[in-house]
């Protein structure tokens, strides 16, 4: 509460703008104005539609919080390419609700953000999947394991590849750091956007090749086919 007062007081002298539409924020608004927060909220999948009805080679279950549409797209673009990792806080509420629903239904030994390659990390300064996992971590029971999985090499752009080509493109991209911590365990992977699932499926394949019992994925958003 005191923090809110402090923030409001600071805001009197240093007004903040909405991260999406640049309108000036009211004192009680955070990151997004009420209108943009509502539009973003409209993209949240209802709980019974958050599960992705698709079968994967190695991933057991996949859930996504948002539909990957405007204005979520713009928000995530700014997170990744304008180095505004704090904007992910605008997604915390719905992401936490889904994460809590999943982890209360299924028992996991650890939560694993999908790693990015160290060269990308140097360029971007943070891994958005890890920032998201850190935002959720204090409210979740399974511990956050940052370094069990590492990215061996950067994955070339997947944009123009079909499903099979993507699977080949990502093969061998991940490496397990402490195999003893993998065998017989269940993991919930965290990632930003789920498109075909090739990357997350490869991460799951790598974990299962070291004996992981179950690997699920919670993605912040999933792309929606426009047909």
Q: For residue 92, give every residue at least 6 positions away whose Cβ sits within 8 Å of its Cβ, in sequence order, or none.
A: 135, 136
Written in H, E and C, the secondary structure of 98-130 is HHHHHHHHCCCCEEEECCCCHHHHHHHCCCHHH
DSSP-derived letter for residue 157 is P
Instruction: Tell me the CB-side half-sphere exposure of residue 86, using CA atoms within 13 A.
Output: 5
Binding flag, residue 18, Zn ion (CB under 5 A): yes
Which part of the chain contacts Zn ion (CB under 5 A), choosing from 14-22, 61-69, 98-106, 157-165?
14-22
- For residue 42, which of 60, 64, 67, 13 has the smallest C-alpha distance? 67
Span from 15-23, 66-74, 115-123, 152-160 in contact with Zn ion (CB under 5 A): 15-23
Nearer to Zn ion, 18 or 218 (CB): 18
Answer yes or no whether residue 33 interacts with Zn ion by CB under 5 A.
yes
From its phi and psi, is residue 154 left (phi > 0), alpha (psi between -120 and 50) or beta?
beta
Window of 34-42, 46-54, 77-85, 92-100 that interacts with Zn ion by CB under 5 A: 34-42
User: What track of x and - describes contact with Zn ion for positions 35 through 74 (by CB under 5 A)?
Assistant: -x--------------------------------------
Task: Count the residues of the shown chain that bind Zn ion, applying the rule CB under 5 A.
Answer: 6
- Edge to edge, the sheet with strand 110-113 lists 62-67, 214-222, 186-194, 110-113
Contact segment (CB under 5 A) with Zn ion among 21-29, 42-50, 111-119, 122-130 equals 21-29
Pick one of 21, 47, 101, 168: the residue that binds Zn ion (CB under 5 A).
Answer: 21
* Residues lying near Zn ion in the complex (CB under 5 A): 18, 20-21, 23, 33, 36
């Amino acid at each position: 509460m005191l923090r809110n007062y402090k923030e409001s007081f600071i805001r009197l002298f240093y007004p903040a703008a909405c991260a999406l539409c640049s309108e000036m924020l009211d004192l009680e608004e955070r990151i997004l104005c009420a209108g943009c927060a509502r539009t973003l909220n409209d993209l949240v999948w209802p709980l019974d539609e958050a599960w992705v009805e698709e079968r994967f080679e190695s991933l057991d279950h996949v859930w996504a919080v948002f539909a990957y549409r405007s204005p979520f797209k713009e928000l995530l673009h700014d997170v990744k390419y304008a180095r505004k990792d704090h904007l992910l806080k605008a997604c915390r509420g719905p992401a936490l609700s889904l994460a809590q629903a999943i982890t209360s239904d299924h028992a996991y030994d650890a939560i694993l953000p999908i790693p990015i390659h160290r060269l990308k990390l140097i360029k971007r300064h943070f891994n958005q999947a890890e920032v998201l996992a850190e935002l959720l971590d204090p409210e979740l029971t399974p511990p956050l394991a940052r370094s069990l999985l590492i990215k061996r090499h950067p994955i070339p752009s997947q944009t123009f590849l079909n499903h099979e080509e993507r699977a080949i493109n990502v093969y061998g991209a991940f490496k397990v750091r402490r195999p003893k911590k993998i065998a017989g365990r269940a993991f919930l992977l965290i990632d930003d956007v789920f498109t075909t699932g090739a990357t997350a499926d490869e991460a799951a394949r790598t974990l299962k090749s070291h004996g992981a019992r179950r690997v699920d994925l919670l993605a912040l958003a999933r792309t929606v086919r426009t047909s």
